[in-house]
Amino acid sequence: MTDLSQTPLAASDARGRVAELHAIREQVRRGPSERATEAQHAKGKLTARERIELLLDEGSFQEVEPLRRHRATGFGLEDRKPYTDGVVTGWGTVHGRTVFVYAHDFRIFGGALGEAHAQKIHKIMDLAVAAGAPLVSLNDGAGARIQEGVVALAGYGGIFRRNTGASGVIPQISVMLGPCAGGAAYSPALTDFVFMVRDTSQMFITGPDVVQAVTGAQVSQNGLGGADVHASTSGVAHFAYDDETACLEEVRYLLSLLPSNNRENPPRTECADPADRRGEVLYDLVPADGNRPYDMRAVIEEIVDEGEMLEVHERWATNIICALARMDGQVVGIVANQPQQLAGVLDIHASEKAARFVQMCDAFNIPILTLLDVPGFLPGVDQEHGGIIRHGAKLLYAYCNATVPRVSVVLRKAYGGAYIVMDSQSIGADLTYAWPTNEIAVMGAEGAAGVIFRRQIAASDDPEATRAELVKEYRSELMHPYYAAERGLVDDVIDPAETRSVLIGALAMLRTKHADLPARKHGNPPQ
């Protein structure tokens, strides 16, 4: 292929110049060579432009700076000045709404970031904030371009600063489609959502070779920082998929649930699922016995539109569920304990997961629905030494700081500090409902009776019979389903079958909610 980037312009008239322009654009579109494209495909990976075509609506992509080339010299760079400099940037639409995108082109310098490469990304990030539209990064790069030295590192600094400035202003989504090592891993970590593809994408600060040299441990790239590791162990990745096509389709779905920026509400859709649909199946889904597990996902699917939801961090901290769904066509963020895992207790990871999700919902005007069935915080030396106090406080802080509509429903257990933290009325929930199976208390009846009546039980001729009687008395006095409602801590006790219609009505009323936080530079949340 003729390299037009190294050929001086020869045409003297307008038509000739236009012909040269089209030839150059065609070269830009095709990339460095067919061989490089074949090598990319051989790895099971698409090219940057193929990925953009899957992400955006057909024919909507408008490229920015396709003719940009680096100006570095030394180490042979002066002889290699391809157009785009290894990153494709621009904007288009997803479901008809504007979205900005940049995609590393691994075929050019391995997608490594140099000065010109970084400046293109900076520009598209600035445009996204100025236009008030989401930013999606398609990451497939080898980190900083070593031949350009410190200017490449400064380029990353500019990206990190812009990620931080855009946080809570526009949705930022990182899609990992190749290796991402060193400082480059921090940009995705600063964004709202991280998608990964199994086998082809990895994220780590130090690679397997460095890990082995320093610690002696042998580990593969996927074992160290693959999609499954980050989706289930580290919590770095929110979503993991088997192939790029499925991954990018889910990115499009996520974008359909998010507003373009923090000044807008999420897009509403027409809903064929009746708002007053009864959910009598809920009677059987949730056992009245608080010690019996069940799948909270089935409850969520029953009350949301068409049973559809997008679960965030599905495989990490599985004792709590965070999901986006619609109710009567309106987007809602759902936080729910999962009794099927660890009885639905709150622990370090569950607190972190839910806190970040609550903050995201609040930043982008998404009402929060909280479903409670929580026996408390997970006890244990590891949890205490790991800082469950400060991590649990993150969730408490996130809820207390949230100004979007907040509605909670107590299905069964809601004990102790975990009850307070899970958006109780005392920390600002706008409306709190409970099912007739609810038990809201400092602790379970058995534990409470053992503390309050310890001496009485010990002095009894039949301690077990006395304990059973006192447990029954405590439960009837302080844990009956209407105790909290009688004291105004629950707004109403509702028929489980009417949960969907009650919540839709509450959220409709709260749609115009307005709340102001005290004037301050920013808070100082627990870390």
Active site amino acids = 182-183, 417-418
CA dist., res. 29 & res. 17, Å (int)? 18
Please give the structure tokens belonging to residue 441: 């208390």
CA dist., res. 103 & res. 51, Å (int)? 8
CA of residue 375 relative to chain centroid, distance = 26
Please give the structure tokens belonging to residue 355: 């806190």
CA dist., res. 477 & res. 486, Å (int)? 12
Given a contact cutoff of 8 angstroms between Cβ atoms, the answer to whether 130 and 168 are in contact is: no
CA dist., res. 478 & res. 471, Å (int)? 11
Q: Which helix (H) or strand (E) holds 63?
A: strand 62-64
The count of C-alpha atoms lying within 13 angstroms of the C-alpha of 27, restricted to the half-sphere facing its C-beta, is 18
DSSP-derived secondary structure letter, 144: B
Q: Which residue has 């622990």 as its token pair?
A: 347
CA dist., res. 145 & res. 76, Å (int)? 13
CA end-to-end distance (rounded Å), the chain: 55
Nearest to 332 by CA among 430, 419, 404, 253: 404
Nearest to 301 by CA among 336, 351, 339: 336
CA dist., res. 237 & res. 125, Å (int)? 22
| CB burial readout 274-304, b (16+ within 10 A) else e | eeeeebeebeebbeeebeeebebbebbbbbb
Q: Which residue has 């700076």 as its token pair?
A: 65
CA dist., res. 471 & res. 484, Å (int)? 19
CA of residue 499 relative to chain centroid, distance = 26
Show the CA angle centred on residue 465, arms to residues 464 and 470, nearest 5°.
95
